């Protein structure tokens, strides 16, 4: 399909009305698009969501959104198992696509989507949004310019606690909706994407173990981060997806990397943390304190502070508020969507995560699942 660069305001449709539907809608508006309508699992729910989010039209279903000639971009914010059919249909209809991660629930589907995006010549982006923290851009620049030196060790974790209790549940717990991996695909995927992107390394092999601490949880398709009222008589479903993952990677250049992932670590809300240790210096970033980047050297340590007038070009570009006026997750998401729309207009922006990155993430998830099953080192 020939590429056509849309002139004027982009028309957007949102598919899905959970927490992420609201996040995508806000970012889309801030990036100057016009939201033409929203589709969800039912026409009734779409009407409610349209009213809540101030969107003019409630589509009867996703097909109607995809067929809308006023729409150039489809944002897919639905459970994981629906990403593949929806993104395929949107690309086939000539739309640009923003699809939540994990891109698909099987490696074959992720690959097919990446291929379809190339053949359709459409912008197809996956929100690995932590790339948009200005301090993450600074970390990448410090690895690139040699400040850190030859990489020797990478380690870290991504910990949450929103599934700690026996009555906590979510649609992701059900493999039929969320896919065969939960904690790793949901949040471990962010960590791996960041590390490969910052370090320029590629994970080559992995040995991983997955663990399910909560053997059953309340049945039903519950929205992310919503509390379920404990009810002793509520039906429960067996849990087949992991609460915890431990992985040891070796990169192509031979750098050992360890990662701990958990959605059941009390007190940890959204703690993506990593340390990159090089021959000259070590770097530490903590997503819950995203305004700072720690750089340790043998003789001294430094704290970089996000600042639109200091540091690397990409740090400055994404630091939209003055230093000391905290930026965070919302600004990352907004910058990601703004860069996606810039790409649709034919502009080049550094670090836009695409369906290729979604497929790459699928390769890592697949190898982690395979390694855990086989109890052995596995090639990625």
Contact set with ligand SOE (CB under 6 A): 160, 186-187, 190, 224, 270
Please identify, using beta-carbon distances, which residue of 64 and 161 lies nearer to ligand SOE: 161
CA 357, CA 126: separation in Å to the nearest integer? 7
With respect to ligand SOE, which residue has the nearer C-beta, 75 or 190? Answer: 190
Nearest to 213 by CA among 232, 239, 189, 233: 239
Smaller CB separation from ligand SOE, 11 or 102: 102
Per DSSP, what are the bridge partners of residue 58? 38
If the CB atoms of residues 308 and 329 are measured against ligand SOE, the closer one turns out to be 329
Q: Which is nearer to ligand SOE, 224 or 320 (CB)?
A: 224
What tokens were used for 194? 């960041």
CB of 224 to ligand SOE, least distance (A): 5
The minimum distance between CB 195 and ligand SOE, in angstroms, equals: 16
Residue nearest to ligand SOE (CB): 186
d(CA 46, CA 44): 5
- Least Å distance between CB 80 and ligand SOE? 10
Task: Compare residues 81 and 160 and give the one whose CB is closer to ligand SOE.
Answer: 160
From the CB of 280, what's the least distance to ligand SOE, in Å? 31
Dist. CA 242–CA 261, nearest whole Å:
10
Instruction: Output the 3-class SS for the chain.
Output: CCCCCCCCCCEEEEECCCHHHHHHHHHHHHCCCEEEEEECCCHHHHHHHHHHHCCCCECCCHHHHHHCCCCCEEEECCCHHHHHHHHHHHHHCCCEEEECCCCCCCHHHHHHHHHHHHHHCCCEECCCHHHHCHHHHHHHHHHHCCCCCCEEEEEEEEECCCCCCCCCCCHHHCHHHHCCCCHHHHHHHHHHHHHHHHHCCCEEEEEEEEECCCCEEECCCCCCCCCCCCCCCCCEEECCCCCEEEEEEEECCCCEEEEEEECCCCCCCCEEEEEEEECCCEEEEECCCCCEEEEECCCCEEEEECCCCCCCHHHHHHCCCCCCCCCCHHHHHHHHHHHHHHHHCCCCCCCCCEHHHHHHHHHHHHHHHHHHHHCCCEEC
CB nearer to ligand SOE: pick between 134 and 278: 134
The residue (of 59 and 336) whose beta carbon lies closer to ligand SOE is 336
Tell me whether residue 195 or residue 255 sits nearer to ligand SOE (CB atom).
Answer: 195
The residue whose two tokens read 């990155």 is 357
């Amino acid at each position: 399909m020939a590429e056509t660069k849309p002139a004027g305001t982009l028309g957007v449709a949102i598919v899905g009305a959970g927490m992420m539907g609201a996040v995508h809608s806000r970012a889309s508006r801030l990036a100057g698009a016009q939201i033409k309508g929203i589709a969800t699992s039912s026409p009734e729910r779409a009407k409610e969501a349209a009213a809540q989010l101030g969107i003019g039209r409630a589509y009867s279903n996703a097909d109607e959104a995809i067929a809308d000639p006023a729409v150039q971009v489809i944002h897919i914010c639905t459970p994981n198992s629906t990403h593949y059919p929806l993104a395929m249909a949107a690309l086939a209809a000539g739309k640009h696509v923003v699809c939540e991660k994990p891109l698909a629930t099987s490696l074959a589907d992720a690959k097919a989507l990446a291929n379809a995006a190339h053949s359709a010549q459409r912008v197809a982006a996956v929100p690995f949004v932590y790339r948009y923290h200005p301090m993450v851009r600074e970390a990448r620049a410090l690895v690139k310019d040699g400040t850190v030196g030859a990489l020797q060790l990478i380690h870290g974790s991504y910990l949450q606690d929103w599934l700690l209790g026996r009555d906590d549940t979510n649609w992701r717990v059900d493999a039929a909706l969320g896919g065969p991996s939960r904690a790793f695909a949901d949040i471990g995927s962010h960590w791996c994407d960041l590390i490969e992107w910052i370090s320029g390394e590629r994970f080559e092999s992995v040995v991983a173990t997955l663990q399910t601490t909560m053997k059953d949880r309340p049945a039903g398709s519950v929205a992310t981060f919503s509390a379920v009222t404990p009810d002793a008589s509520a039906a429960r479903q067996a849990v087949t997806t992991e609460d915890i993952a431990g992985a040891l990677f070796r990169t192509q250049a031979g750098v050992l990397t360890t990662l701990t992932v958990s959605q059941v670590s009390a007190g940890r809300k959204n703690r993506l943390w990593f340390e990159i240790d090089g021959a000259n210096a070590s770097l530490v970033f903590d997503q819950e304190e995203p305004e700072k980047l720690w750089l340790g050297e043998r003789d001294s340590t430094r704290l970089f502070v996000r600042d639109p007038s200091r540091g690397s070009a990409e740090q400055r570009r994404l630091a939209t508020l003055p230093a000391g006026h905290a930026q965070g997750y919302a600004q990352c998401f907004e910058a990601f969507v703004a860069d996606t729309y810039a790409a649709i207009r034919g502009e080049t922006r550094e670090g836009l995560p695409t369906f290729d990155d979604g497929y790459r993430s699928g390769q890592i998830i697949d190898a982690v699942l395979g390694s855990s099953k086989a109890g052995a080192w596995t090639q990625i």
